[in-house]
Amino acid sequence: MNYSLFITGSPTSSKACHTALDFAEAVVQNSTHTLSGVFFYEEAVSVANALAMPPRDECNIRDEWMQFAQKHSIPLYVCIAAALRRGELNEAEAKRHEVHHHNLASGFQLEGLGSLLSLTLESDRTVRFK
- Which CB sits closer to another protein, 109 or 120? 120
- The number of beta carbons lying within 10 Å of the beta carbon of residue 124 is 11
In the annotation, is 79 catalytic?
yes
- The number of beta carbons lying within 10 Å of the beta carbon of residue 6 is 22
Give, in order, the Cα–Cα distances in Å from 94 to each of 26, 81, 89, 123: 36, 13, 6, 33
Q: Rule CB under 8 A: which of 85-124 touch another protein?
A: 85, 112-114, 116-117, 120-121
Q: Rule CB under 8 A: which of 34-73 touch another protein?
A: 41-42
Distance of closest approach, residue 117 Cβ to another protein, in angstroms: 5
# residues contacting another protein (CB under 8 A): 17
Question: Could you say which of 61, 69, 79, 116 is catalytic?
Answer: 79
> CA angle 13-6-80, nearest 5°?
85
Residues annotated as catalytic are 79
